[in-house]
Amino acid sequence: MGLESEQSRLLLSKIATSDRHGENSPYFDGWKAYDRDPFHPTNNPQGVIQMGLAENQLSLDLIEDWIRKNPKASICTAEGVNEFKNVAIFQDYHGFPEFRKAIAKFMSKVRGGRVTFDPERIVMGGGATGANELVTFCLADPGDAFLVPSPCYPAFGRDLGWRTGVQVLPFQCDSSNGFQVTKKALEAAYNKARENNINVKGLIITNPSNPLGTTLDRDTLVELVSFINEKNIHLVCDEIYAATVFNSPNFVSVSEIIQDMEYVNRDLIHVVYSLSKDMGLPGFRVGIVYSYNDLVVQCARKMSSFGLVSSQTQHLLASMLSDEEFVENFLKESSKRLAKRYNTFTKGLEQVGITCLKSNAGLFFWMDLRRLLKEQTIEGEMELWRVIINEVKLNVSPGSSFHCSEFGWFRVCFANMDDETVKVALDRIRVFVCRGKEEDEQQQPASTVNTKRWKTNLRLSFSSRRHDHQEGVMSPHMMSPHSPMPHSPLVRART
């Protein structure tokens, strides 16, 4: 940085100049690599395929279809414009009552109708990003900490900590039990923080998990709730992937757990939700804080002025989510499509000997490439990741960016592309794996060849020749949002 810009930095706030946004990580470097050279089936077939984006684009046609059939639901149509004035001037931070009612009902539906939600407790946030920050602002002061089991969502540091000054302390879970959080690990993390004089205000979990794609079972949830209850700290459950469950076991929400437990201080329990993943609407910025604590509801509601959902979006969704038949069909069909895509991908990988953590939810899976590492270190993981991104041209995200303590795991997103792109991605992986084996065989006497050793030969047959392509052309195959401007990873740092 030049002297001039260093001086102008000094004029800014500590928040503005801190690097707690976390953009300097391989996670975002992958995004940059994609932005520089995005795959396009005809214009740039050798480009990078974006598999680092947890977006659900598999069922958007159902929503488009509903919109076509319900033009009155939008204020920007001839059929709906009569409501334009009423909606456009609305600015109440409680939100439209019909919107809160519809969201509460939808949340209940997603949880199999086993729990109900009170519309009076629905507080709006700008996506789950805003909702997570909002609830943190209500629960903790600068310097206080939240524990989070890892591997965890990489942007928690930013969402919970950047502007609030709260610390996020990941604690390790490992592959020996499928990365499930245990009371022992939680207790150890809590005690360690206390020994370091850190004031632990709570625990945050994502259920279903990003990046694992697994759900927490009832017993684990009971254990976590008992733990926070005993320590008198908060539990924030980010349930943003609740309706992405596509296989058994079913999703169990913390709301069901506290309903069934004999004694829980409900003031400690807070659910964060969003329509970004379950409905594939991240651009709508619909985030929800649902707290069982009256004071948190009151305070969060006042604070929500900084991140409201636009009245136009509320109006449309109130109508859409009240359509029970649509919601029922959407949820069923979405999970069917996710299951199909997950199976196509993981079976394709299995055929070339790549395994993944068994999962039942989410928009991604957790791929195990440990045996391909030259060394079981972060450097080994980064070396492999660079081969995957620069030569195989797939932007998958390395486990270390999710604070995973075991090296060689990668998160692969599977719901942000069409079937053709899936084929291309799988073909590239096949070529990558087969080429590695062939080179190994050429270099080793046949009798000593085994699949493990080709990890020392991670060279690819891919042409490094760049194909000409129009910068920023929106690809019909790669359904990710693209603007003609080069993207800053800051813009899309959330997934």
Ligand X SMILES: Cc1ncc(COP(=O)(O)O)c(C=O)c1O
Q: Which residues bind ligand X (CB under 6 A)?
A: 54, 127-129, 153, 206, 210, 238, 240, 274, 276, 282, 287, 494-495
Provide φ and ψ at 192, rounded to 5°: -65, -45
Residue whose CB is less far from ligand X, 193 or 286: 286
Provide φ and ψ at 377, rounded to 5°: -135, 170
Chain-centroid distance of CA 476 in Å reads 23
Give catalytic status of residue 277 as yes or no.
yes
**Max CA pair span of the chain:** 79
Q: Which residues contact 24 (CB under 8 A, 6 or more apart)?
A: none
Residue whose CB is less far from ligand X, 210 or 480: 210
Which residue's CB atom is positioned nearest to ligand X? 127
Cβ neighbours of 262 (radius 10 Å): 4
How would you classify the pairing of strands 145-150 and 355-356? unpaired
Residue of 75, 228, 240, 258 marked catalytic? 240
Residue whose CB is less far from ligand X, 204 or 233: 204
Give catalytic status of residue 238 as yes or no.
yes
Chain-centroid distance of CA 79 in Å reads 36
Shortest distance (Å) from residue 434 CB to ligand X:
33
Q: Which amino acid is at 31?
A: W
Helix, strand or coil for residue 395? strand
Give catalytic status of residue 144 as yes or no.
no
CB 251 within 8 Å of CB 242: yes
Strand order in the sheet with 355-356: 355-356, 364-368, 409-413, 397-398
Shortest distance (Å) from residue 46 CB to ligand X:
28
Give catalytic status of residue 153 as yes or no.
yes
- Which candidate, 255, 277, 122, 163, places its Cα nearest to that of 209? 277
Q: How far apart are the first and last CA of the chain?
A: 28
Residue whose CB is less far from ligand X, 138 or 240: 240
Chain-centroid distance of CA 55 in Å reads 8
How would you classify the pairing of strands 397-398 and 409-413? antiparallel
- Which candidate, 128, 449, 53, 142, places its Cα nearest to that of 287? 128
Residue whose CB is less far from ligand X, 274 or 311: 274
Structure-block tokens of residue 452 = 């493990």
Which secondary structure element, helix H or strand E, spans residue 85, and what is its range? helix 84-88
Residue whose CB is less far from ligand X, 47 or 151: 151
Residue of 238, 278, 368, 440 marked catalytic? 238
Shortest distance (Å) from residue 358 CB to ligand X:
20
Residue whose CB is less far from ligand X, 104 or 354: 104
CB 303 within 8 Å of CB 124: no
- The C-alpha angle 453, 456, 462, rounded to 5 degrees, equals 115
CB 27 within 8 Å of CB 154: yes
Residue whose CB is less far from ligand X, 384 or 413: 413
Give yes or no for a cis peptide into 45 (omega within 30° of 0): no
Enzyme catalytic residues: 153, 238, 240, 277
